[in-house]
Chain A
Amino acid sequence: GAVVSQHPSRVICKSGTSVKIECRSLDFQATTMFWYRQFPKQSLMLMATSNEGSKATYEQGVEKDKFLINHASLTLSTLTVTSAHPEDSSFYICSAEGAGGGNQPQHFGDGTRLSIL
């Protein structure tokens, strides 16, 4: 089946650091990738949608200068949390879908646990 690899799985860093998270589709071409944030005991919050070669579409309330998304190829999208602060600590999950249409499931990475000290 379709596999999405997300790295790193866990990051602990000091306040003010920028952190890059990678999301790769290993065996299919991901025309669209999604970035979610999940708070403890809560559902997924969609942060942004990225299509290969174009600018990401951010959800309302998500700071695009804070959360930089790049989708440079059909197999790789990155999320960079710039100048991270403790309130950015969370579980970030990416997902990807191919060109098969909206009736296809999204394929998720295993998430990145970000802890800002």
Chain B
Amino acid sequence: AQSVAQPEDQVNVAEGNPLTVKCTYSVSGNPYLFWYVQYPNRGLQFLLKYITGDNLVKGSYGFEAEFNKSQTSFHLKKPSALVSDSALYFCAVRAPNRDDKIIFGKGTRLHILP
């Protein structure tokens, strides 16, 4: 069965510092991996995805994520955090078989401190 873990409930980063939000996964075969962001009282917004190809994926708002197959990780990163990046971030995984559901992590709340 596929699963995804976000080990941190909350991450605090000072504005201007690099940020990392961690995600590990378990899936049979090559995974499809996604990151979403949720602002208060809003739905989720798609940030980026990894399907195949380069392990470093670039997405919206300056975010990027690195696919590491040996460590089964897909950590979200940004070189310089902004206060406006404060939000709830979800990692998601889906097995290549389209019938498999997308599985979301429990979310990590990111606080960027001014």
- A positions within 8 Å CB-CB of B: 4, 6, 42-44, 46, 49, 91, 93-95, 101-103, 105-111, 113
Contacts and interface: CB of A to CB of B under 8 A. Distances in A.
Contacts of B98: 101-102
Interface string B26-44: 0000001010100001111
Contacts, number: 54
Contacts of B102: 102, 106
B30 to A, nearest CB: 10
Given A95-B44, A111-B41, A111-B42, A103 B51 contact: yes
Given A6-B43, A108-B44, A111-B42, A43 B90 contact: yes
A42 B6 CA distance: 12
B34 A105 contact: yes
A106 B35 CA distance: 11
Nearest to B32: A103
